């Protein structure tokens, strides 16, 4: 690296180095902000500020780690999601901006569907970092929120995030909806971002080599988990209920058909994200007048 150790020089070097290694040049800014504990506006305003040798070497190491394929979020240990900071590691899927749109859709459907949310039971299935469950609880505190995951290590991370963010969540370990079926617990709201990537789809090495495959891949066509949801949901949903799932682009009609097969009278909607891609499927079941 160059001898003139300023913020400007650090960002310039990182940008060029990451580009040369096929990575996002903006990652350097994220890593340096974390290293110096600065806001973006302050970092950009103080580009002539010198960087101490120790901080410089740590930043260089982090940039080289990312260039080699390690996710930025694993290097700094967290990701921002829905205005909050969630701890992440290799045991959980890194929360994506697309999933924030799932939260938005669920909140809108909840407010438009139920006259009162007080005491309603909501569950985040395959919670991972806990981002969905914690966000729902903090955005609508009157909900009773559960979160489940097959992975014990993922649940430990979700529990840490819930504790840090003061979100009261009940955690259950088990495969998909099985913990709720076994306990006889009925749910008003089910939300999930299940694995939906077809196994043959090629991903960036940053993703495929560092994030849990069990949270990414959903079988040959990516629909395995939606098939299971379609068969298991009738066992846990109340007569009036909302279910919402994140999906991959192009999967909307297939997921809609799967759900319609088990809920022929339900209102099912495929929602596109901000980029126009199919991203969310919602299901509303109305068997009795909503309270």
Domain boundaries, the chain: 7-68, 79-285
240 is an annotated ligand-binding site residue: no
195 is an annotated ligand-binding site residue: yes
**Tell me, what's the pLDDT at 13?**
92
196 is an annotated ligand-binding site residue: yes
Q: How far is CA 191 from the centre of its chain?
A: 12
Residues 6+ apart with CB under 8 A from 120: 114, 142, 143, 144, 188, 189
Q: pTM (2 decimals)?
A: 0.89
26 is an annotated ligand-binding site residue: no
**Tell me, what's the pLDDT at 1?**
47
Q: What mean pLDDT comes out for the span 261-265?
A: 91
Cβ pair 146, 189 in contact under 8 A: no
193 is an annotated ligand-binding site residue: yes
SS3 186: coil
Average predicted confidence (pLDDT) for the chain: 89
194 is an annotated ligand-binding site residue: yes
146 is an annotated ligand-binding site residue: no
CATH architecture group of domain 79-285: 3-Layer(aba) Sandwich (3.40)
Q: In the Cβ-directed half-sphere of 52, how many Cα atoms lie within 13 Å?
A: 4
Cβ pair 106, 136 in contact under 8 A: yes
Distances (CA, A) of 144 to 120, 188, 190: 6, 10, 12
With a pLDDT cut of 90, the percent of the chain lying above it is 68
Question: pLDDT tens for residues 178-204?
Answer: 999 999 999 999 999 987 666 666 555
**Tell me, what's the pLDDT at 194?**
87
Question: pLDDT tens for residues 208-261?
Answer: 454 555 555 555 667 888 888 999 999 999 999 999 999 988 889 999 999 999
Reply yes or no on whether the pLDDT at 61 is more than 70: yes
Distances (CA, A) of 151 to 30, 92, 103, 176: 29, 9, 23, 11
Q: What mean pLDDT comes out for the span 22-49?
A: 90
Residues 6+ apart with CB under 8 A from 20: none
**Tell me, what's the pLDDT at 225?**
85
130 is an annotated ligand-binding site residue: yes
39 is an annotated ligand-binding site residue: no
**Tell me, what's the pLDDT at 94?**
87
Question: Please, what is the end-to-end C-alpha distance for the chain in angstroms?
Answer: 65
**Tell me, what's the pLDDT at 47?**
87
Cβ pair 167, 133 in contact under 8 A: yes
Please name the residue that has the structure tokens 């139920």: 114
Q: What mean pLDDT comes out for the span 100-112?
A: 96
Question: pLDDT tens for residues 108-139?
Answer: 999 999 989 998 999 999 999 999 999 999 99
**Tell me, what's the pLDDT at 158?**
97
151 is an annotated ligand-binding site residue: no
Give buried/exposed letters for 181-210 (b at 16+ CB in 10 A, else e). Answer: eeeeeebbbbbbbbbbbeeeeeeeebeeeb
């Amino acid at each position: 690296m160059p001898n003139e150790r300023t913020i400007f020089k650090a960002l310039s070097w990182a940008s060029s180095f990451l580009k040369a290694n096929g990575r996002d040049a903006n990652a350097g800014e994220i890593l340096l902000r974390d290293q110096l504990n600065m806001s973006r506006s302050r970092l950009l305003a103080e580009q002539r500020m010198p960087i101490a040798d120790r901080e410089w070497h740590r930043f260089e190491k982090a940039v080289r780690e990312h260039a080699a394929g390690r996710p930025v979020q694993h290097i700094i240990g967290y990701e921002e999601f829905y205005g909050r900071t969630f701890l992440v590691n290799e045991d959980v899927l890194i929360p994506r901006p697309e999933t924030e749109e799932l939260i938005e859709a669920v909140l809108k459907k909840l407010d438009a569907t139920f006259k009162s949310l007080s005491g309603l039971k909501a569950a985040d299935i395959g919670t991972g970092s806990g981002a969905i469950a914690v966000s729902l609880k903090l955005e609508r505190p009157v909900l009773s929120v559960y979160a489940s995951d097959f992975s014990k290590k993922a649940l430990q991370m979700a529990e840490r995030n819930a504790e840090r963010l003061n979100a009261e969540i009940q955690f259950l370990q088990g495969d998909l909806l099985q913990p709720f079926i076994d306990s006889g617990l009925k749910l008003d709201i089910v939300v999930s971002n299940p694995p939906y990537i077809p196994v043959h789809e090629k991903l960036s090495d940053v993703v495929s080599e560092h994030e849990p495959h069990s949270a990414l891949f959903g079988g040959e066509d990516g629909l395995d988990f939606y098939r299971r949801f379609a068969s298991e949901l009738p066992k846990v949903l109340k007569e009036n209920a909302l279910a919402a799932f994140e999906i991959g682009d192009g999967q909307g009609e297939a997921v809609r058909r799967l759900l319609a097969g088990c809920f022929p009278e339900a209102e099912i909607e495929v929602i596109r994200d901000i980029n126009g891609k199919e991203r969310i499927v919602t299901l509303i079941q109305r068997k009795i007048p909503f309270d």
